[in-house]
Structure 1
């Protein structure tokens, strides 16, 4: 019987290359080129970058299986489209190629031009006076950028490529909607803002559209740019360069370190109001800050650049409960309205002044006092029946300017001698804002 024979046909295909690029923040105009081959190669692929017609070879180093990387410094004096070409050979001798493009512009103070990414999805409109001296500018297409997200096939190896690279992690307050282009170098200082327009079709938003804005990455942190999102396009003015993305901020600012605290009983009817507002997403809009007392906005209340505020009440609060409310929004429109209730004391006065035991039969006597408000100065003087001063206490420092407290008298005079039996008079003097009030009492010493 004749043996059956089977014909096998093996089809070899050329290797394909996925190419991603990203800027190196440690070196101006330098980009990293990372490629992943679809199959094992005989050796590292060849790479060249063409600017102005001349092809510059780039050495590609092996990273891990099928991954290779190299670096190239963009020549800012060679404007126009630039091409990155990669060629590699698989184990069967099949040759494959891959290519991506980026755009370079040479700027001067007189430059006025419109610059597009190679894929045509984004445009920069640059007016005269945008830069003060000659400089180069480049645009990297969003499809060619590796954004380091969880969906990126290169995400696990990109952090190890550059020791000096900044983190691309987003703030916990921001939700990434769509990564966009990169315009560099980020170190280039602009004298005028640049108009940026980009197509953002098929967003499939899962967050409110009014919370979506353009952000720019600066030193690893996403900074709010703003812009208008309408008809599948985003338009914004860039005050600086860097990686761009659409982000959504859904969280309001957070208020902390508030003084006085909620339900606090005040010792001063004109307290100093303090607090701190923080927002790690879009950032706080300083113009939105308001401080209200019982529903009335306080003039002169301002928010510092660090989010802190300090405000001295201009008028004393009447005795009783009062509501202090802080209102602020971040640049994405998320608002915080947080209120506390405080209890204000009555008018400045001495509510209580007592000596005990009275009569004093031992070696000491205590004086307790309670004022309506915290004094600036507080003194207790003791006199004998003839009106001569026996002793005097400065309670301002002794009790830390508190509105209430006590002091012990050891029944000695200012020379340290024990006083004799008899009747003594004491006087409490409290001063606040230049106003002095007094209260008197009588004490008997019987040993």
Structure 2
């Protein structure tokens, strides 16, 4: 698909990049059947191909309106379309560029801008997320059922390893995960410790940058990335062999630091190195000897929810299933695994009704084999599903946790 850039974009790097990305699209339509929002609305403007045409129109005409913004807002950025695309279209990158351009070309009203700004400033600050969550948990018993379900119960993470192991890896504890599901990081640390790996956190590191960047605030998102690189760099130079994420949503942007900062003369080389070191926790464990963990397996069938970020961004659709089968767990059958659960970062807040419909569809797909437990690899998906699920939803790493399995 050829794009003839409007003259006002002749020196715009992002517009040029968007044009290059669009050129890969052969408008075959194979992406439509994989797109959750198109399946939900039946409106082609809510499909990848439709949004590509809308962004092509922006690039060629030099302007866009609320219609383009609305249909791009409805995109989950699940990237399922990328997996289906025969020509390798990098739709996720195009959508991010489009959101940044539309913040300028089709600005929102003051109320909506303020809400999105507040959302970004809150969710990208772990301490603030923790303070708000603790307040919500304090008053949770007094809230109406619908609101109560949105506030996760407080977790007790348990003791962290104190020994120093021969191998060292760094961890991104995340913003929401560190506050809402601290057991995930603690379990990961204990599992890796049993396997001879010390998991360290750089206290100066913070938000991965996904919240800001995916909402079109590219400058703020890149600043998040630079701060993390600065925090990790001394440990990288000291020999840390990997940077581990136990939230696939964060991991999917960590691996793009090198690409997103490639034009930054100060950070380009460091960002490329950071991306090369980034690994999902599953990517580490798939090569390790799991017999060292002494796992309790008698828990019934486990339904694995593979987040879109793991399937389509990290391109590891079967890795958790592989690990759990090797560890001896019985996996439940599921269907429509390629379709998004509706969480998608801030999507469940900004597009609530559609998000809830997608969640209901996903829960039905996960429960066709009557599992005893649902596990996921991303905190947003875990919390989103658990809000309405009748059976427990956990992070899969908890199944391998020596503390949980041995009752210490």
Structure-2-length-normalised TM-score: 0.21
- Bigger share in strand: 1
Structure-1-length-normalised TM-score: 0.20
- Bigger share in helix: 2
